Amino acid sequence: MPSVGELWKEVFCSYTKDLSRIREWADSVFKSPDESLEIARKLTRAYGRFPDAITLGFSPQVLVGALALRDNIIAVTSPEVWRGEGQGALSKALLDAFSDRVRVELAPFAPSSATPPDEVIRGLREVFGKLKEEGVKLLDISGGTQLVPIAAILAGFRSFSYAYPDGNFLSFYEFEIGGPWMESSRKVFKSVSLFDPDIAYALSDAMAEYDYLVVDREESFLVEDVSSADEWKKWLRNIFLSISLPQMLFSAKEELKGELRKHIRPLERELPNESKPHDECETLYKLCPEFMNMWFFSNMILSPKFSKEYLEELEESLCHTEELSNILNKRREKIKKLIENSDNFLILPQFGVGTHRISQIAKFVKNIVNCREKDVKILLGLNERLMDRHRCEIGKLRGELKKLKVEKIKVDVEDVMLDSDDEKLRSGSTVAFLLQDYSKELVKKLIDMGLTILVIPEVSYRCDEGGGRKVRAVAGYLSEYSGEELLEALSLKAGVVEGWSGSQESKETD
């Protein structure tokens, strides 16, 4: 007689078609649902968020797995399952066993002569639409027929999970599809700033800006919404960019057209019908303008021969607007708490970069201190070698920060020692601000001490509301932002690394 563990491994953690074993397992769950959930919790794992709702077909394992992850679940199931017909009887039995934890929604799953596939999709879409309106975000689509995911996408779901057994666990894997890249073969982008990717960190501004970029499977083109005849010079700039640049067309008011034609013979095109850019594109601009620039550069400057093969990689990453927005929200909360609740700020400035940068670093430190209501102790990582080598810069930094409560921390970059000053870092909670780059050896030490590090980029792209350029290269370690704007800039741009002590690891090599 096989043990309970073996039965779970065979039915819950592996694919099996042995109905008698599945029935045996379902019976055991039906008889003792709470104990079964205890076992299921040990054998279920999630890559990503837990699903809010599942689609339940003839495999009841997904229901038990979902309930192992969360207390309550919405199960969308078919009338056949609900009536307990045929193989649906097992799912029905477990729905009954967990009736206090499961809300059931009925929708057709399988086509029949009375309900053809398009009718099934319509029925499913209606139910999924209702769930979407209720705020269901993550739908598990591992149960039901192939029509289920089609209907879910049509209902507007973009975030899914899929449950699968891997021999040891039942795994729920979250993934996202969709966004403008999936929904439309034609993408329209408004106010496109194009930056030279390899000099992004050299404070470079945009090489070019275009009013519209239209990317299509059949054709790609730029549209310049001409407001002055003088803009003919923009055509000149294009000559020096790349032969792969999409054709530039113009749109202009009647009176300007004649003026423009005195200089060039451009092709004319009305502004794209889709001139209002997709909301998700706008969100992506805000969340990841640098990444968007890589996509623009690949589409506009590189030869299609070379970019075609990897554009899919980029586009796959850009299909996750919802996930990215969720990450931003969590980061916002986390950073706010870190700034408000820390007792010490350890500043790790880059030296050897010129005194003008030191002023920017000092301004950033002052701005970050001003984000708090309470006082905070500023600790400055220095050592004699640094003092000797960068006396002028360090003097300037200390001078500019003199109104703040600043203490020196002895940091020996060469030997990775923080000496007795370790205590200063351990007294109260400390958050370290690493300005662009620093000794990785020291960083490792801080990580081992469990400190949280915020990595502040010197230069980044920002997509800001309001006038002017849509996306700008912002230099100066985010020093131009203060107050709430600074907290938002940190949420978008600062790396947040929580320390991790070596004792928590099972396998560590360095």
Side chain identity, residue 170:
L
* Contact status: 497 vs other proteins (CB under 8 A): yes
Closest approach of Cβ 197 to other proteins, in Å?
4
| Closest CB 241 distance from other proteins, rounded Å | 6
Query: Radius of gyration over alpha carbons of the chain, in Å?
Result: 29
Which amino acid appears at position 317 of this protein?
S
Among positions 467-496, residues that touch other proteins (CB under 8 A) are 491-496
Tell me: does residue 158 bind other proteins (CB under 8 A).
no
Q: Rounded distance, CA 152 to CA 157, Å?
A: 6
- Examine residue 364 and tell whether it contacts other proteins (CB under 8 A): no
The yes or no reply on residue 278 touching other proteins (CB under 8 A) is no
Cβ atoms 445, 416 nearer than 8 A: yes
170 binding other proteins? (CB under 8 A): no
Min. distance of Cβ 88 from other proteins in angstroms?
32
Residue count, binding to other proteins (CB under 8 A): 74
Nearer to other proteins, 378 or 447 (CB): 447
Q: How far apart are CA 325 and CA 177, in angstroms?
A: 15
Query: What secondary structure letter does DSSP report for 454?
Result: E
**Residue 210 lies near other proteins (rule: CB under 8 A):** no
449 lies in the binding site for other proteins (CB under 8 A): no
401 token code pair: 């920060």
176 beta partners = 159
> Which of 43, 107, 155, 324 touches other proteins by CB under 8 A?
324
Give the contacts of 407 (CB within 8 A, at least 6 positions apart): 377, 378, 379, 380, 424
323 binds other proteins (CB under 8 A): yes
The answer to whether 431 and 346 have CB atoms below 8 angstroms apart is yes
> Alpha helices, DSSP H only, in 279-379?
279-287, 289-300, 304-317, 321-341, 355-370
Measure CA 30 to chain center.
40
Nearer to other proteins by Cβ, of 37 and 206: the residue is: 206
Residue 142 binds other proteins (CB under 8 A): no
- DSSP-derived letter for residue 348 is E
Report in angstroms how near the CB of residue 33 gets to other proteins at its nearest: 30
In sequence order, the 6+-apart residues with CB closer than 8 A to the CB of 382 are 394, 408, 409, 410, 411
Instruction: Name, in order, each residue with C-beta under 8 angstroms of 91's C-beta and a sequence gap of 6 or more.
Output: 56, 57, 58, 59, 60, 63, 77, 81
Identity at 500, one-letter amino acid code: W
Stretch that binds other proteins, among 7-15, 104-112, 282-290, 401-409 (CB under 8 A): 282-290
Q: Is 220 in the site for other proteins (CB under 8 A)?
A: no
Query: Which residue, among 270, 260, 272, has the nearest Cα to 228 in the 3D structure?
Result: 260
Among 62, 107, 459, 486, binds other proteins (CB under 8 A): 459
* Residue 356 near other proteins by CB under 8 A: no
Q: Which is nearer to other proteins, 92 or 390 (CB)?
A: 390
Would you say 402 or 440 has its CB closer to other proteins? 440
Residues 78-97 that bind other proteins (CB under 8 A): none
Q: Which of residues 368-427 bind other proteins (CB under 8 A)?
A: none
Do strands 377-382 and 159-165 pair parallel, antiparallel, or not at all (unpaired)?
unpaired
Closest to 215 measured CA to CA, from 236, 182, 185, 173: 185
Residue 442: CB minimum distance to other proteins, A: 11
* 172 is an interface residue for other proteins by CB under 8 A: no
Q: Out of 293, 342, 360, 383, which residue is the one contacting other proteins (CB under 8 A)?
A: 293
Residue 360 makes contact with other proteins by CB under 8 A: no
Rule CB under 8 A: is residue 337 a binding residue for other proteins?
no
Q: Does 2 bind other proteins (CB under 8 A)?
A: no
Does residue 288 bind other proteins (CB under 8 A)? Answer: yes
Binding status of residue 3 toward other proteins by CB under 8 A = no
50 binds other proteins (CB under 8 A): no
